[in-house]
Chain A
Amino acid sequence: MFELLGISPQALTSQLLIGLINGSFYALLSLGLAVIFGLLNVINFTHGALYMLGAMVAWIILTQLGGWIGMPELEISYWWALFIAPLVVGLFSIVIEKTMLKRLYHLDHLYGLLLTFGLALVIEGLFRHWFGVLGNSYPVPDLLRGGMRVNEFFIPWYRLWVVGMALAACFATWFFIERTNLGSLLRAGTENPRLLQALGVNVPLIITLTYGAGCALAAFAGVLAAPIYQVTAIMGSDLIIVVFAVVVIGGMGSIAGSILTGLGLGVVEGLTKVFYPQASSVSIFVIMIIVLLIKPAGLFGKVR
């Protein structure tokens, strides 16, 4: 019964898993974009570059850093990278917010997009200059090597781990925003920042931290992606456009909506790869067109 339409079950499951993994990255990135947009009204074009930066930091501290500081045997492992890379990228983003983005809040939202577009070009250009465009492979950590065999399917542990970690991060973000006190401040800031400030809350601080956290999520996705894809300077530049389409489809009104849309679209893209490979790279964009025609505000969006 698996031989339906001449598709082998192996191809189907493996593409489904790849779809889920891509979907996890879409979910993590679009979640960060949505949280940032909610509070800052900025579409963060640097998100793709920061995803790349996350993977790059992980690769650098594993393979390069030791040589740079004269201790060639120093290799900071994947497990540390999971914390260090988001932290570095988060701090870097906070500097960007404090020094540049902050000056644009009183202007049209489009300027935020343009600024972050320019920054993305600079970041990617610099890394391309330093490390070239050839991919650097990042080894799968020892603990997650191998996989399990279910009947004739082979499922690598690392891929399961990625999906699990991404879901956990998404859930944690959702829980933080919807169920904690600090999260309620964030939601209040999204609704009405002036009123919140009048109540004595330090809104600029919340904005800065939110931007840092949203960007750290992108870096986290980058570290997760490092052992699966090649680590290159341009790994985020096409991804960000797909994520924009995901955001247009889902609408940025709802946290859970972003997560569901991201995962769902990843799976759809994986399935397209099985049934009609030529169209897989445009499948998400085609869905975007259909959604725009049927429900212009997006699946979870509010009409504005």
Chain B
Amino acid sequence: MNTTSTPTKVASTDVSIKPNVVNTAAITKVTLVIFALLALLPFQDAVYDLFMMKVFCFAIFAASVNLLLGFSGLLSFGHAAFFGTSAYVTAHAMKEWGVTPEIGLLVGVVASTALGYVFGALAIRRQGIYFAMITLALAQVVYFIATQVPFTNGEDGIQGVPRGKFLGLFDLSNSSHMYWFALGVFILAFLLIQRVVQSPFGQVLKSIRENEPRAISLGYDVDRYKLMAFTISAGLAGLGGGLKSLVLQLASLTDVFWHTSGEAVLMTILGGIGTLWGPVLGAAIIINLQNYLANLGGWSTIATGAIFVLCVLAFRRGIVGEISHRLNIRL
């Protein structure tokens, strides 16, 4: 297990660790190409804009789970709490306070980050499997609260959320404006995650994932790193959630339900744990699948579960993970 870490260099916090140059070049090229393709999409009739925007939201959400699971080795089963909290807060801010979308998103992200700090501080007190159970249980508290407090409107949710005007200039009710906005948020989130993962901070997280006792013995305050990773991840999940309530103009109980947490984990596994593009591809596939199965009642849940089982049993690297393993590049 304890192979890839580079203990001699990681020893001091302020040493900047240069990732393998070839790998970085590969991912940069791929990233640029995909971003360019995504930017061209709204000019095609073949792809449904709303679908792509929904993919962006869930890609950010899944990537936030992956930041914990893939790069820190922490499985959170409660990320719907952050996704949903931010969705509600953003929707409320947009609808009741009439703020601009960037402020709405910001308020949502602040709320989910604060919640993430509290949950993280509690959950890192236990490890491994308990960590997953605690995050799940804490998220259930958020779900119960969401069913009780008046501002979430219970079963109805917050409907008809206005999209507002970005910076007071660009009206996001225009579908292509909204697409650019969502794409911009997605690219920012993606670059942020890439930055975090490739930073010295990210390297320390990986060392904790690979061998926690060794990281402790090297003098790292492991709990502090885990808490920071958890808080960042919660904030990102909130960004996905807030964007979702702008795109779909709806925040509902589904957003905070534990099935949603499970979906984010599934997107991550299907795409490839610990890869940057994996969660994005996973999100695209799962959202697509749900679109097709939406009219078939319970089959969407069954299919989700079956893919889970198959991935865990036979396809643990995930799609992007498998490709990057075969080609020996990092994606």
Instruction: List the interface of chain A (C-beta within 8 A of B).
Output: 37, 41, 43, 100, 103-104, 107, 109-111, 113-115, 117-126, 128-129, 238, 241-242, 244-245, 247-248, 278, 281-282, 285-286, 288-289, 292-293, 296-297, 304
- Are A121 and B302 in contact, CB atoms less than 8 angstroms apart? yes
- Are A244 and B141 in contact, CB atoms less than 8 angstroms apart? no
Interface flag for B125 (CB, 8 Å): yes
- Are A122 and B305 in contact, CB atoms less than 8 angstroms apart? yes
Contacting residues of chain B (123-158) with chain A, CB-CB under 8 angstroms: 125-130, 132-134, 136-138, 140-141, 144-145, 148
* Interface residues of chain A: helix, strand, loop or mixed (majority): helix
Instruction: List the interface of chain B (C-beta within 8 A of A).
Output: 75, 77, 122, 125-130, 132-134, 136-138, 140-141, 144-145, 148, 258-259, 262, 265-266, 269, 297-299, 301-302, 304-309, 311-313, 316
Whole-angstrom CA separation of A238 from B145 in the bound complex: 15
- Are A288 and B301 in contact, CB atoms less than 8 angstroms apart? no
Residues in A with CB closer than 8 Å to B265 are 114, 117
Among B297, B298, B307, the one with the most A-chain Cβ atoms within 10 Å of its Cβ is B298
- Are B301 and A111 in contact, CB atoms less than 8 angstroms apart? no
- Are A304 and B127 in contact, CB atoms less than 8 angstroms apart? yes
- Are B138 and A285 in contact, CB atoms less than 8 angstroms apart? yes
Identify the closest chain A residue to B266 (Cβ): A118
- Are B129 and A109 in contact, CB atoms less than 8 angstroms apart? yes
- Are B298 and A104 in contact, CB atoms less than 8 angstroms apart? no
- Are A122 and B302 in contact, CB atoms less than 8 angstroms apart? yes
Taking the nearest CB of chain A, how far is it from the CB of B250, in angstroms? 22
Residues in B with CB closer than 8 Å to A113 are 75, 129, 132
- Are B129 and A119 in contact, CB atoms less than 8 angstroms apart? no
Identify the closest chain A residue to B269 (Cβ): A114
Q: With A109-B128, A285-B140 in contact, is A118–B133 under 8 Å at CB?
A: no
Identify the closest chain B residue to A114 (Cβ): B312
Whole-angstrom CA separation of A208 from B307 in the bound complex: 24
- Are A292 and B125 in contact, CB atoms less than 8 angstroms apart? yes
What 8 pairs between A and B have smallest CB-CB spacing? Answer: A118-B308, A121-B305, A125-B302, A122-B305, A125-B301, A296-B125, A129-B298, A118-B309
- Are B136 and A241 in contact, CB atoms less than 8 angstroms apart? yes
Residues in B with CB closer than 8 Å to A100 are 309, 313
Residues in B with CB closer than 8 Å to A296 are 125-126
Residues in B with CB closer than 8 Å to A126 are 298, 302
Among B125, B137, B259, B297, the one with the most A-chain Cβ atoms within 10 Å of its Cβ is B137
- Are B297 and A110 in contact, CB atoms less than 8 angstroms apart? no
- Are B298 and A125 in contact, CB atoms less than 8 angstroms apart? yes
Q: A43-B132, A114-B75, A285-B144 are in contact. List 20 more A-B contacts (CB 8 A).
A: A100-B309, A104-B312, A110-B129, A111-B312, A114-B312, A115-B313, A117-B308, A118-B305, A118-B311, A122-B306, A124-B301, A125-B301, A125-B304, A244-B137, A245-B140, A248-B134, A278-B148, A282-B145, A289-B138, A293-B125
- Are B308 and A248 in contact, CB atoms less than 8 angstroms apart? no
Whole-angstrom CA separation of A2 from B299 in the bound complex: 52
- Are B126 and A292 in contact, CB atoms less than 8 angstroms apart? yes
Identify the closest chain A residue to B137 (Cβ): A245
Identify the closest chain A residue to B140 (Cβ): A241
- Are A285 and B137 in contact, CB atoms less than 8 angstroms apart? yes
Whole-angstrom CA separation of A115 from B308 in the bound complex: 7
23 contacts between A and B (CB under 8 A): A113-B75, A113-B132, A114-B75, A114-B269, A117-B77, A117-B262, A118-B304, A118-B311, A119-B309, A120-B305, A121-B262, A124-B301, A125-B305, A126-B302, A238-B140, A241-B136, A242-B137, A244-B136, A281-B144, A286-B141, A288-B137, A289-B122, A296-B126
- Are A111 and B136 in contact, CB atoms less than 8 angstroms apart? no
Residues in B with CB closer than 8 Å to A125 are 298-299, 301-302, 304-305
Given B126, B145, B259, which contacts A248 in the complex, CB threshold below 8 Å?
B126
Taking the nearest CB of chain B, how far is it from the CB of A243, in angstroms? 9
- Are B297 and A241 in contact, CB atoms less than 8 angstroms apart? no
Taking the nearest CB of chain A, how far is it from the CB of B262, in angstroms? 6
Among B308, B312, B313, the one with the most A-chain Cβ atoms within 10 Å of its Cβ is B312
Taking the nearest CB of chain A, how far is it from the CB of B185, in angstroms? 29
- Are A244 and B133 in contact, CB atoms less than 8 angstroms apart? yes
Identify the closest chain A residue to B141 (Cβ): A285
Residues in B with CB closer than 8 Å to A117 are 77, 262, 265, 305, 308
Whole-angstrom CA separation of A111 from B132 in the bound complex: 12
Whole-angstrom CA separation of A178 from B297 in the bound complex: 47
Q: With A241-B136, A282-B141, A293-B122 in contact, is A122–B130 under 8 Å at CB?
A: no
Taking the nearest CB of chain B, how far is it from the CB of A78, in angstroms? 28
Whole-angstrom CA separation of A107 from B262 in the bound complex: 20
Residues in B with CB closer than 8 Å to A104 are 312-313
Taking the nearest CB of chain A, how far is it from the CB of B260, in angstroms? 12
Residues in A with CB closer than 8 Å to B137 are 241-242, 244-245, 248, 285, 288
